Every structure is written in structure tokens, then in C-alpha cells.
Structure 1
Amino acid sequence: MKIYQGFKQYLVEKKLWEVFIYLFFGGLATVVNIVTFLLAYQAFHLSWPISNTISWICSVLFAFVTNKLWVFQSKTEGIGALVWEFSKFLVARIISYGMDMACMYLFIDMFHTGNLIAKIITQVVVVIANYFFSKVFIFKKIEGIEEEKSDSSPR
């Protein structure tokens, strides 16, 4: 446990902890995405677009929970704020889903690469785009919410 705490403290000091933890959970979301894609495509013999859509749904649900709770540690007050945050997350993920589908089409149908190779390459692009969307547009840091509250309080 001391090794973990020391590692975490080092990354926090270098302002790299959030990136590290995002890449960790983003890697897990990528595993969810690839495994469900392969399962749908190979085991159930679905087309690559349908398999890709199923894998996208599974990874989006996984990513929202992990990003909210552990990566960005976002706090929302009430169901309305949670729905708003999830809506923004979903819009950003729909944009990256479009990127995902375009890249898959490009690699599979135009360049004739294998489905797994196309999926892996595409996921690198998607993970980078999703980090940007999540960091900039979706999740608020705990400190940001607390600062907003203290700034709006009467003096």
C-alpha cells in the first residue's frame, strides 16, 4: 500500500494522476469495448456495424460510471444535475461514436485491415477524444463546485 500511495502522490505532484487514472479506466473501457465487439461479431455473427454499436453501448455505460466516480470525481446535486451530466456525456460519446464508425469503415472497408486491428487502432483515437470531451465539457472537479458555492455566497 505504501508503494501505491507513493506512486499516487508523485503523480499528483506532477499533475498526472488524473491522466493516469483516466488511462487506466479508459483501458478497461477499451477492453469492454473490444471483448463485446469480438463476442458480438464472432460468437453471434453480427455485422461489424451492429457489433460496434453493441460494444459502444457497453463501454459508454462502463465509462460513465468510472469517469464520474473515480477519474473526475464529479459530484452532482440531485437527479436533474445527474441527468444533465449524463446527457452531456452521451452527446460527447455520440460524437466519438461517429469517429469510431468512420475509422472502422475506413480501416475495414477501405483499407481492408482485419476487424481486430481496426478496432484497436480506432480505440486509441476514441480514448484521446473522449478524455478531451470529459475533461473540458462534462465533469466538474469537486474543487470547482466548492469554489462556485463559496464565490456565490454573500459576503
Structure 2
Amino acid sequence: MIDRLKKLYDKYEEVIAYLFWGVLTTAVNVLIFSGLHLFTNMNYMVNNFIAWVISVLFAYITNKAYVFHSPSKSFLSDLKEMSSFFGGRVATLVIEWILLWIGISLMHQNQILVKIFENVVVIILNYFWSKWAVFKNSTNKGQPKQGR
């Protein structure tokens, strides 16, 4: 039973790590958005942008180190990787804005619940962008894990 669980974990380690760090990134995003919503009088779109910047930086660092294990080859390659990561996140930021606008402005739903819903959609989209465009050349793809 333990061996079976270990094999499953090894097979889906990247997805499990992405989900773990994605949940933490979502928590950072929602907590910052909620804090700004509760303690400031700023528009929800401004709150969302501030939460987005902080959570995307958190996501880049954790995805690079703990999900896709992308080595730093040079400053230029890291800058290119980070630009691609943030570029993909800008695309999903537009989707966030649309979902927030529909849920909050048009449908008059609870801001926090709409924020959580759109985060689920964005996490899924961001995973595929990160896997196929940003960290596609990571060294851990298809290789057995060391020390296992």
C-alpha cells in the first residue's frame, strides 16, 4: 500500500506540488484582496491588481523552485523566464477582471466568493501556461528523481 502511494506520488509529484503552491498563492491573493476590501475604500479592481502583483511574484518564486525545479542558468535566461511567466499571468489577469466584473458589477455577488471562484479558473489556466510555455525546458521533465 505504501509503495503504491509512493508510486502515485512520484507520478503526479509536479501536479501535487502545483496544487499545494497554487492553494497558497490563492490564499495570499484572497487574503490581500480581502484585507484591502475590508480596510480601505479602494475600488475592487485596484484591490485585485495589488493582490495580483504580490501573489504572482510569490507564484513565480515557488513555481520555479518547488514545482518545475527550473535552474537559474543566467540572469538573461531568468529574466526571459520571468517575463514569460508574468506575461501569461497578465493574460489571466484580464480573465480575472472579466470574471470579477461579471460576478460583482453585473451579477451583484459577494466580492470574496467571486474572487475565490475566479482564482480556481485562473489556477488551472496558469498551470498549463507554466508547464507548456514558461518552464518547458526544466531539467526534471521525464527524469527519475534522485535518491528515491
Same fold (TM > 0.5): yes
Deviation at 1:68, TM superposition (A): 0.1
Where has structure 1 moved over 4 Å in runs of 4 or more?
Answer: 5-9
How many angstroms apart in 1 are the aligned matches of 2:134 and 2:117? 25
Which ranges in structure 1 are unaligned for 5 or more consecutive residues? 147-155
Deviation at 1:17, TM superposition (A): 1.1
2:49 paired residue number: 53
Q: CA RMSD in A?
A: 1.8
How many angstroms apart in 2 are the aligned matches of 1:33 and 1:76? 26
How many angstroms apart in 2 are the aligned matches of 1:6 and 1:141? 26
Which ranges in structure 2 are unaligned for 5 or more consecutive residues? 144-148
Given that 1:88 and 1:137 are in contact with CA atoms closer than 8 Å, whether structure 2 keeps it comes out as yes
Given that 1:8 and 1:17 are in contact with CA atoms closer than 8 Å, whether structure 2 keeps it comes out as no
Say which structure is richer in helix. 1
How many angstroms apart in 1 are the aligned matches of 2:87 and 2:122? 14
Bigger radius of gyration:
1
1:11 maps onto 2:6 in alignment = no
Given that 1:34 and 1:119 are in contact with CA atoms closer than 8 Å, whether structure 2 keeps it comes out as yes
Q: Where do 1:76-95 residues align within 5 Å?
A: 76-95=72-91
When normalised by structure 2's length, the TM-score is 0.88
- Paired-residue identity, %: 33
Q: Indicate the SS of the match to 1:142.
A: coil
Aligned length: 140
Given that 1:60 and 1:93 are in contact with CA atoms closer than 8 Å, whether structure 2 keeps it comes out as yes
1:142 maps onto 2:144 in alignment = no
2:146 paired residue number: none
